[in-house]
């Protein structure tokens, strides 16, 4: 299994943009991303889906368009990616930490 390539395109205190490549054989275990304050949002744009596997799943989305454009709260809901059996998964990920509270009402 190769290494994940995570290229930071922008990094500020509240906003980050990353181009992430997940190789064949990689998986992301079920987890959430607690931030300790504020409301955390992620918008993932799947640029390349693997030929087999690599399915993203989350308990709840704000919206999902064909599982290729996904807006969700990684601080509130568990999410994971199944094992990539063939090919690679490439996504452009926008992460935003909003200053308002960490409750669901933030969206």
User: With contact defined as beta carbons under 8 Å apart, do 38 and 102 qualify?
Assistant: yes
**What phi, psi does 5 have (nearest 5°)?**
-105, 115
Other beta carbons within 10 Å of 2: 11
Output the tens digit of pLDDT for each of the chain's 107 residues. 679 999 999 999 999 999 999 999 999 999 999 887 889 999 999 999 999 999 999 999 999 999 999 999 999 999 999 999 999 999 999 999 998 875 554 44
Distance CA 62, CA 44 (A): 12
CATH of domain 5-30+37-98: 2.60.120.330
Q: What is the pLDDT of residue 1?
A: 66
């Amino acid at each position: 299994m190769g290494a994940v390539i995570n290229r930071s395109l922008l990094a500020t205190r509240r906003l980050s943009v990353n181009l992430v490549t997940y190789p064949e054989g990689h998986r992301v275990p079920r987890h959430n991303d607690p931030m300790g304050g504020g409301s955390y949002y992620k918008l993932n744009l799947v640029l390349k889906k693997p030929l087999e596997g690599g399915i993203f799943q989350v308990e709840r989305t704000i919206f999902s368009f064909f599982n290729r454009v996904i807006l969700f709260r990684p601080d509130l809901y568990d999410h994971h990616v199944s094992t990539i059996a063939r090919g690679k998964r490439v996504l452009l990920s926008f992460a935003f930490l909003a200053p308002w509270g960490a409750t669901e009402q933030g969206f």
